[in-house]
Amino acid sequence: MSTAGKGGTITIDGRGIPFEAGQTVMDAALAAGIYIPHLCHRPGLTPHGSCRLCTVEVGGRNAAACTLPASDGMRVDSDTVALNAVRKTITQMLFVEGNHLCPGCEKSGDCTLQAVAYHLGMLDGHFPQFYPRREVDASHPDIVLDRDRCILCELCVRASREIDGKNVFAISGRGIHASLIVNAPSGRLVDTDIEVTDLAAHICPVGAILLKGHGFEVPIGQRTFDIHRVSETDRERLPLVRPDHVDDE
Amino acid sequence: MDPDSGEDDMPDRASPGRAGGHLLHVLYEVQQRLRHIPRDAICDVADRLGLPMSQVESVVDFYAFFSRTPRGRYDILFSTCTSCGHVHGETDLLQVLCERLGVAAGQTRADGLVSIGTTSCVGMCDQGPAALVNGVPLIGLDVGRLGDVAERVEAGSPLADWPGEWFDVEDHVHRPGLLLATPWQDGAAIRASLDAGPEAMLAEITRSGLRGRGGAGFGTGMKWQFCRQADAGERIVVCNADEGEPGTFKDRVLLTGHADVMFEGMTVCAHVIGARRGFVYLRGEYRYLLPALTETLARRRQAGLLGAGILGRDGFDFDIEIIVGAGAYICGEESALIESMEEKRGIPRIRPPFPVTHGYLGLPTVVNNVETLAAAAAIAVNGADWFAAQGTDQSKGSKLLSISGDCAAPGIYEYAFGVTMRQILDDCGANEAQAVQVGGPAGTLIGPADFERRLAFEDLATGGSLMVYGRQWDLLDVIRNFARFFVHESCGFCTPCRVGTSLLRNALGKIGRGHGTHYDVEEMRRVAALVKRRSHCGLGQTAPNPILDLLARFPGVIEVYLAHGGFEPYFDLDASLEEARQLSHRSDAEAHLR
């Protein structure tokens, strides 16, 4: 039952790849340059397993690659027609439960949700839109929180706690009413200790957390996913640090 | 807890590693006092308990019995269950009371006197339609009784002055079996465990073939063994008394009349695995049982059956605390339950690691159902052979069933595993059943063709809920009820369940309104399969079961609702313009398309 164990080899879609002790299937795949679509995962942060885009099958059983410990001889199916169809449906679910209006979003072209959707061949939301009523928090002078676009991946929650050494964000509520909240008596971002230099202010894969005063600096056509494919696995190998290190007082 | 300590802020050991009380208990107190939990109270509680504000806020917003806006001085929540719920035949009891008291469902009356809403099954399925009034179950509701309730609410009469019979929850045990009919003596199981020693007792439990009674059926002996083997300085026993599966009330009966057996099962488990602390996680709907349970614990301490040196055995120290939940079905899932114990939202953890190695506060933890622990205590006294003599090859012993719905005698029936559905239905007087939901909404929907099937983990598994539906039901209403239940109870962690449960509810709604075609049915089937297969935990993995069972076993039910026999999506443009016609006060020919 231990997750430690030893390293070894797993196969993903028939290709044998090595893994080290303690690695998940996602870790091993990324290290070998194999892309498994994901949104809530980011190397360097505690795996979360909530978006389920990295759904794979091991011996016909379903698992999230980002939380599944690799074990020697494991045979993983990932890039199959059926699993990519599942991933497309899950992506459509994420689109329709929120309010994602790509043409008017500053994150368009830099948005991982959008890029994954293109990667999976998603052409529409498919399901009727939920049109939820969500609150925008523009209280902070430098950072805006637009919950319409939040996909509840908790990357900001984890980045704040694990890298920034703070506790700015949390998910509140339950079910379809779950929402991103901030840790302040007023419930407003301006009253938290978030700073523009925090990783949490930059890590949002969609346009839910944006820096103010930087609208459309990079033209459409020259943005991240205009130049790169979301499936380029070395894109995420950048070390996770607060961009501007400040010594303790 | 020492009643003579005279301190207001008695340390509550249920809270992980600090004084101040368990967050759920503190928030319950605030909700009772202020009728809601406003932001300044959240800040105050966070400050007092030394917790992040966001953690307190997220907990308030997660559990159904906490509210951010003021509820009435009388807060009445009707059960939505098909057995103890507010829709009774042609009558909607909730609407009846709303009209009597002049308040809209889900709202608080302007004078703050009363609020009326709904809540998931309150476990009163054999007591007639039921509601919680300020958290206390109000049973046997009908139009007449609700009239009396309305009068007392308007008069501001304290609940203590309401007729006792409105709250008098009786145990309807119609068929006692192995567990309920065998005489019990306090201390006998602990003595047997002390005499045998932990290893021999573990072997006995394992040999009995006892499997978890909550529904999943994991081997109890194996679970205890994994925990016992885990390397740690401390181990924990948890009794899962969060039975939330609609239609289940067998743990309520055990907690009411057989709490000693359950506590003793926990103590035997503690002896086997080497635990010093035990917890009962009691569902908020059963808070009314708390005084009696607390008294039982005190009595057991007095009798040397809990505390330091149990039954004079040096070094065998074990005590039990009760944590009361606050309205969340998901907390019946063992790792969500542990998260809730740790004062967080009830989100199921990623497994592995499993609770037996990394549970409460990271300590190896056994989480067992009430009935499992009671059975373990009985096995400790009477032996593995006594237990395994009943049941089937893979399902030893007996099972308590909570039977409700359209039958002559709803209540508790204990059967040896292997009994046929037909036998059960005959015994409870369900002669006109068109369908039975076995194991609650997360279980299996069967019709007469399956009534010869047997109750067992290898055939029809159940955590104990058995709901009977007579001929008068439209099964689509039943399945829509279940779909709404899962939308309400999904924790929201993973995408398939969070969004998928809503999509399924919406699809059933569209079909129910007569706007669906075969296209919608196939779409619903596709989403149901995805939610079932790809969700993070057991809730999502079972939520689509009722829909898939309905499609497989009762295809005709949905067929009659379809707009036409083809696959083309249905759209009636003229009907869709009706709202515009009403707004513009037009009904002339020009305002119509046909």
- Is the Cβ of B492 closer than 8 Å to some Cβ of chain A? yes
Could you tell me if B496 and B443 lie in one domain? no
**B486 and B584 share one domain:** yes
CATH number assigned to the domain comprising residue B548: 1.20.1440.230
CA distance B85 to chain A (A): 22
Q: Are A50 and B495 within 8 A, CB to CB?
A: yes
Nearest CB neighbour to B503, from listed A51, A127, A174: A127
What is the phi-psi region of residue B125: left when phi exceeds 0, alpha when psi lies from -120 to 50, beta otherwise?
A: alpha
Domain containing residue B580: 478-594
> To the nearest whole angstrom, how far is the Cα of B228 from the nearest Cα of chain A?
14
Boundary-marking domain end, from B166, B196, B231 = B166
Distance from C-alpha of B3 to C-alpha of B302, rounded to nearest angstrom: 14
Residue written as tokens 């360097």?
A: A44
- Check whether residue B444 and residue B531 sit in a common domain: no
Give A55's contacts in chain B (Cβ within 8 Å): 534
In a domain, A244, yes or no: no
Interface of A with B (CB under 8 A): 1, 3, 47, 49-53, 55, 62, 64, 67, 69, 86, 89-90, 93-94, 96-97, 127-128, 130, 152, 167, 169-178, 181-187
Burial level of A87, CB count in 10 A (0-12/13-18/19+)?
buried
Domain total in chain B: 4
Under the banding of pLDDT at 50, 70 and 90, the label for residue A1 is very low
Q: Do A62 and A91 belong to one domain?
A: no
Domain identity same for A29 and A118:
no
In a domain, B103, yes or no: yes
Confidence of residue A3 (pLDDT cuts 50, 70, 90): very low
Helix (H, G, I), strand (E, B) or coil at B535: coil
Q: Which of B492, B500, B534 sits opposite A55 (nearest CB)?
A: B534
pLDDT tens series, chain B, 594 aa: 333 333 344 445 566 767 789 999 999 999 999 999 999 999 999 999 999 999 999 999 999 999 999 999 999 999 999 999 999 888 999 999 999 999 999 999 999 999 999 999 999 999 999 999 999 999 999 999 999 999 999 999 999 999 999 999 999 999 999 999 999 999 999 999 999 999 999 999 999 999 999 878 999 999 999 999 999 989 999 999 999 999 999 999 999 999 999 999 999 999 999 999 999 999 999 999 999 999 999 999 999 999 999 999 999 999 999 999 999 999 999 999 999 999 999 999 999 999 999 999 999 999 999 999 999 999 999 999 999 999 999 999 999 999 999 999 999 999 999 999 999 999 999 999 999 999 999 999 999 999 999 999 999 999 899 999 999 999 999 999 999 999 999 999 999 999 999 999 999 999 999 999 999 999 999 999 999 999 999 999 999 999 999 999 999 999 999 999 899 999 888 888 999 999 999 989 889 986
Q: Looking at the structure, tell me whether residues B377 and B496 fall in a common domain.
A: no
> Do A54 and A155 reside in the same domain of the chain?
no
| Domain match, B279 and B304 both | yes
* Residue A245 in this model has a pLDDT that exceeds 50: no
Q: What is the pLDDT of residue B576?
A: 87
Q: Choose one of B347, B367, B388: the last residue of a domain.
A: B388
Quote the domain boundaries for residue A61: 8-79
Q: Is the pLDDT of residue A235 over 80?
A: no
Quick one: A54 and A75 in the same domain?
yes
For A95-154, write each residue's pLDDT tens digit. 999 999 999 999 999 999 999 999 999 999 999 999 999 999 999 999 999 999 999 999
Residue type, B289: L
**Residues A108 and A55 reside in one and the same domain:** no
* Type of residue found at A100: H
Whether B495 has its CB under 8 Å from any CB of chain A: the answer is yes
Contact map slice: B 511-570 vs A, CB within 8 A: 526-527, 530, 533-536
Question: At B195, phi and psi to the nearest 5?
Answer: -65, -40
Asked whether residue B219 falls in the same domain as residue B315, the answer is yes
B505 touches B528 (CB < 8 A): no
How far is it, in rounded angstroms, from Cα A98 to Cα A178? Answer: 11
- For residue B395 the two structure tokens come to 């399902």
Assess whether B246 and B371 both reside in one domain. Answer: yes
Q: Same structural domain for residues A39 and A140?
A: no
Q: Are residues A67 and A107 part of one domain?
A: no
Kindly state whether residues A43 and A107 are assigned to the same domain: no
Same domain, B185 and B312: yes
Together in a domain, B423 and B322? no
- What's the CATH number where A67 sits? 3.10.20.740
Q: Select the residue of A3, A94, A96 nearest B353 (Cβ to Cβ).
A: A3
Tell me if the bond preceding B353 is cis, omega within 30° of 0.
Answer: yes
ipTM of the complex: 0.94
Nearest to A52 among B43, B356, B495 (CB): B495
Helix (H, G, I), strand (E, B) or coil at A75: strand
Domain end: A60, A79, A98, which one?
A: A79
Say what the pLDDT of residue B13 is: 53
Q: What token pair was written down for B451? A: 């009534």
The pLDDT assigned to A5 comes to: 65
What total of structural domains would you count in chain A? 2
Residue A174 covered by a domain: yes
Residues B563, B456 share a domain:
no
Say what the pLDDT of residue B264 is.
98
- B residues 184..243 contacting A (CB < 8 A): 226
Closest Cβ opposite residue A176 in set B57, B498, B526: B498
Are B190 and B149 in a shared domain? Answer: no
Both A46 and A112 in a single domain? Answer: no
CATH of the domain at A160: 3.30.70.20
In a domain, A89, yes or no: yes
Q: Where among A48, A64, A79 does a domain terminate? A: A79
Residue B28 forms part of a structural domain = no
Q: What pLDDT does residue A216 have?
A: 82
B129 touches chain A (CB under 8 A): no
CATH number of the domain at B140, please.
Answer: 3.40.30.10
Chain A CB contacts of B350 below 8 Å: 47, 49, 64, 67
User: What is d(CA B450, CA B466) in angstroms, rounded to the nearest whole number?
Assistant: 14
Task: Provide the pLDDT for residue A234.
Answer: 79
Three-class HEC string of B374-438 = HHHHHHHHHCHHHHHCCECCCCECEEEEEEEECCCCCEEEEEECCCEHHHHHHHHCCCCEEEEEE
Does B340 share its domain with B244?
A: yes
pLDDT over threshold 90, residue A4: no
